[in-house]
Structure 1
Amino acid sequence: MTSSFPSAKPQKGSDIVLEQLKKRIESGEYSPGYRLPSVVDLASGFNVGRSTIREALSALKAMGWLDIRHGEGTFVSDVLPSAEVQPESAGFFHSKESFQEILEIRKYIESGCASLASMRRTAEDLEQLQMTLNLMQEVLEDEKASEAADVQFHQLIARASHNSLFIQMMDSLTKRMQESMGDSRRLWFFSELASGQQLLEEHTGIFEAIRDHDETLASARMMQHLVKVESVLGKMMPPRETR
């Protein structure tokens, strides 16, 4: 009689890179403030593709081990995560299930908001949305200010729907949106090599559909915007188990 064992899945290349880099930080080889080699050099050193390196760096950034600065490089965080509260790297993305759930909710709530906003928006709604887009352009290089403007843009679309329940749902999600927004932006920027300018263009496309009373396009562009983030997360996280 043979014993049954759980299936052993091969470790992802990005997980291996993540663990090796994390060990170098923990050992002090890469000390706080140390600038890591470029993505190209790391890919050559680990003998993996650049996308694998970007996935590992994105994960370490989200976990608090790295600070990725646009145009400057990747640095070890000045303040490292506490070992007592830091999840094991192999299981890190399992703890991101709540992030995935927030994205699932946002997809369906916000595509509906965009659809209604395209039919009900007022001149004042459009003015506020345009002002927020202008602000997003001004603060492209300021991570915190950019995230805040991003959240504001999505909340304004809910308000432009003039549906009190949509507005209440979006307001209740504000704190979690602010937490997930930072993660989702980092995942998109560093896993897809996207930029703040590209993200602004997506928001502008949503705004234009709302401005033009194009209900179908507004909903589709909002859904596409959020599905893109979800697809990046899916590459970096094991599939959720269903019962």
Structure 2
Amino acid sequence: FEPEAARLAAQRAEREDLEEMQEVIEKMSESVKTGELPNSFDLKFHKLIARAARNPILEMLSESMLEVASQVITGLHPSTDVLKHVVKRHREVFEAVRDHNPDLAFAVMSRHIIDVRNRLARQKGRQPKLRSNKR
């Protein structure tokens, strides 16, 4: 559902949404630089995307699913490399939303989700099962 939320956000986001997203990305980037785990900022970014989609069902799904995902990811203790990559992907999603490019927003969010899963799997020494689906 997150790629679709990103697609809708690219069509519907307002200036205030974009300002909040940009601020959260900057805070997340600073957090990674100082060695802190930026999960609250990661979670907030995904929630902002869902809110900007202006779809109550997606927002509700996002709220419940992201809380669980955040707890799981925290337990995996992502490496600095993974966290830097997350910040990079968040910037790419943000730029697609800001530029009102729904197809790019969908594609980048799809890659982001698969990339994080694969990077965390490699970090834990498991073979990833998902591949990036270029759309």
Please say whether Structure 1 and Structure 2 have the same fold, judged by a TM-score greater than 0.5. yes
* Structure 2: distance between partners of 1:153 and 1:225: 13
Structure of larger gyration radius: 1
Higher relative contact order (Cα pairs below 8 Å, separated by 6+ residues): 2
Task: For residue 178 of structure 1, report the CA deviation from its aligned partner.
Answer: 1.8
Percent identity, aligned pairs only, is: 29
Regions of 4+ moved over 6 Å: none
Is 2:7 the partner of 1:115?
Answer: yes
Task: For residue 226 of structure 1, report the CA deviation from its aligned partner.
Answer: 0.8
Is 2:36 the partner of 1:162?
Answer: no
CA distance change for structure 1 residues 236 and 135 in 2, over 3 Å: closer, same or farther? same
* Structure 1: distance between partners of 2:46 and 2:73: 11
Aligned to 1:236: 126
* Structure 1: distance between partners of 2:58 and 2:77: 23
Ranges in structure 1 where 5+ consecutive residues have no aligned partner: 1-108
Aligned length: 124
CA distance change for structure 1 residues 153 and 184 in 2, over 3 Å: closer, same or farther? farther
* Structure 2: distance between partners of 1:163 and 1:227: 23
SS in structure 2 at match of 1:125: helix
TM-score, structure 2 as length reference: 0.81
Task: For residue 168 of structure 1, report the CA deviation from its aligned partner.
Answer: 0.7
* Structure 2: distance between partners of 1:208 and 1:165: 24
Deviations along 1:160-219, whole A, 9 cap, x unmatched?
000000001111224302212325662xx37xxx25333211110110000001111101
CA distance change for structure 1 residues 215 and 138 in 2, over 3 Å: closer, same or farther? same
* Structure 1: distance between partners of 2:86 and 2:70: 16
Q: Higher helix share goes to which structure?
A: 2
Contact 1:151 1:181 in 2 (8 A): no
Is 2:17 the partner of 1:128?
Answer: no
Aligned to 1:4: none
Pairing of 1:83-162 with structure 2 (within 5 A): 109-140=1-32, 141-143=35-37, 146-162=38-54
Is 2:73 the partner of 1:172?
Answer: no
* Structure 1: distance between partners of 2:128 and 2:28: 33
**What is the root-mean-square deviation of aligned Cα atoms in Å?**
2.2
